[in-house]
Amino acid sequence: MPKTGEIKARMNSIGQIQKVTKAMKVVSASKLKRARDQLTEVTPFFEDIEEVLIEILSHSAEIVNPVFDKRAGKDPEERTSAILVMTGDKGLSGGYDSNVCKRVEQLIKEQPNGNVEVLICGRMGREYFRKTPYKVDEDYIYPLREPTLIRAREMGEVLWDRFKEERYDDVYIVYTKMKSALSLEPTVMKLLPMDISDFRERLAITEMKPADDMMKFEPSPEAVFNVIIKKYMTWVTYNCLVQAYTSEQSARMTAMESATDNAEEMLEKLNLDYNRARQAAITQEITEIIGGASAL
């Protein structure tokens, strides 16, 4: 049985770790709430943008825009896919980062020609994919912490420019969607090219306005569409950023809560071991005193 001093030292060490995990849990809970509030504040604005897009597509002829360019005539073997990966900037979040990276590797294997470039948002993802044979764009460096619309617009503009230049033919975003505090799902979303049918599907649940009630767009519905589609892409990128950020904080909060509970269980067990060792030491000391008295 370990000595009381050894057990006590271990209890002190675990106690210090428990204080850290408790603090990290509180910090993650605070960041999670702030990120949710941030998403809630900006969502109505982009919902209005989406409503305008749907209205234009529902009452106008087929809109011609580069975001819908599927490059159908291009040889599948020559197509290049880009995958934007959103991982955390810090560890201690359980299997959050590894689950995202595994989903990315699965998506890469699903590409017909394997011609894929990985773009990473978050330090943990960069550290993971630098050790793999996949092609990683080292110039595309963005943190995940504190997502903002400005950062989302910058990220989206890089992807948009490369798509127009035909450097990329397909653009995917892999992020984690937070369904609940205990349900985090790595999700794949195709950003480019967009499909008009994705908007058309929403028309089934959106009340169609008569043509006479349609808003008047100047100089034309197509011109308005070409402007706000970029804002919509910013919103999609921003939404994925915030979803990934909130998922990271939720995963870390859950991991730290589990670590705190495990530390408490270990302290209880060590406290029992300490009491047993202390009692054994007292018994041994009494026995030695009695033995010494008997010898005299």
**What pLDDT, on the 0 to 100 scale, is given for residue 61?**
59
Look up the pTM and report it: 0.79
User: Model confidence at 66, in pLDDT bands (50, 70, 90)?
Assistant: confident
Q: Is 225's pLDDT higher than 60?
A: yes
Least confident piece of the model among 13-17, 24-28, 71-75, 194-198: 194-198
102 CB neighbour count, 10 Å cutoff: 13
User: Model confidence at 205, in pLDDT bands (50, 70, 90)?
Assistant: very low
User: Model confidence at 2, in pLDDT bands (50, 70, 90)?
Assistant: low
Least confident piece of the model among 70-79, 204-213, 263-272: 204-213
Q: Which long-range contacts (CB under 8 A, 24 or more apart) does 202-209 make?
A: 202/50, 202/54, 203/54, 203/57, 203/58, 206/51, 206/54, 206/58, 208/58, 209/55, 209/58, 209/59
Q: What is the mean pLDDT of residues 62-76?
A: 75
**What pLDDT, on the 0 to 100 scale, is given for residue 27?**
83
**Phi-psi domain of 96 (left: phi exceeds 0; alpha: psi -120 through 50; beta: other):** alpha
> Is CATH 3.40.1190.20 the classification given to domain 49-254?
no
Q: What is the mean pLDDT of residues 137-147?
A: 81
